[in-house]
Amino acid sequence: MVTPNPSPVILSQDELKKIAAYKAVEFVESGMVLGLGTGSTAKHAIDRIAELLRIGQLKNIVGIPTSSITHEQAVSLGIPLSDLNAHPILDLAIDGADEVDPQLNLVKGRGGSLLREKMVEAASKKFIVIVDESKLVSHLGGTGLAMPVEIVPFCWEFTLRRLEMLFIEAGCVGKLRVVGESGEPYVSDNGNYIIDLYFKSDMGDLKETSDAILRLAGVVEHGMFLDMATTVIVGGKLGVFVTNK
């Protein structure tokens, strides 16, 4: 489905994110338990949900945040929150992504959140992904950008080398994510480190790649979200595109 952009004005990337986010919020209904995503696109959706709650167009929403930063945003906007213990099944989750392939597989986590996102989104009956069109790729990892893997801090260099060895034929290089120029490891919401994997050639079969990473002791989770999204909403210069699985 395509909603054409009626405006001839050139929209910024952030405006395209906002359009996708607002479209996703049209799928939110009163009484829903909602997974609240993380990142600059999800932030727009959360702002919009809070606005609709404020003006009474939405009622009785319970939000399940996917990161501490989203938790803070939702609290500051007065969105009622809970967790997976109290709500093991969610009606809908809305979140951004770093890459989306034609089968609606995703790379997520370049902003540092992936484990809580995956837990919440895997527990949702529906998962709407919101992106601007720059996130669309023909195959995951083909952009040469990072595929994040969350690992335990214990002997992280050992785990990094093991990850590289797994994909040595694909020319895989791993880098510990650090905070700015400090050189200090980035620490996730869960107290873990993140290794960014860069593939010189194709990642290969995605399911096999996923399984191989998850089999490695020391790995907590990775940023490939395979077969999880039920809908992707893309904000593009020609309009908003909605694709359902």
Ligand X SMILES: O=C[C@H](O)[C@H](O)[C@H](O)COP(=O)(O)O
Q: What is the DSSP string of the chain?
A: -EEE----SPPPHHHHHHHHHHHHHTT--TT-EEEE--SHHHHHHHHHHHHHHHTTSS-S-EEEESSHHHHHHHHHTT--B--TTT-SSEEEEEE--SEE-TT--EE--TTS--HHHHHHHHTEEEEEEEEEGGGB-SSTTTTS--EEEEE-STTHHHHHHHHHHHTGGGT-EEEE-BSTTT-PBP--TTS-EEEEEE-SS---SHHHHHHHHHHSTTEEEESEETT--SEEEEEETTEEEEEE-
98 vs 196, beta carbon nearer ligand X: 98
Interface residues toward ligand X, by CB under 6 A: 37-42, 95-98, 108-114, 117
Residue 147 to residues 31, 79, 119, 141, 176: CA-CA distances in angstroms?
A: 35, 32, 18, 7, 12
Task: Please give the backbone phi and psi of residue 35, each rounded to the nearest 5 degrees, phi first.
Answer: -80, 125
**Cβ 37 vs Cβ 128: under 8 Å:** no
Least CB distance to ligand X at residue 67 (A): 8
Closest CB to ligand X among residues 155, 178: 178
CB of 38 to ligand X, least distance (A): 5
Identify which of residues 41 and 159 has a Cβ nearer to ligand X in the complex.
41
Is residue 117 among the annotated active site residues?
Answer: yes
Q: Which is nearer to ligand X, 17 or 203 (CB)?
A: 17
Among 117, 121, 150, 221, which one carries the catalytic annotation? 117
Q: Which is nearer to ligand X, 91 or 221 (CB)?
A: 221
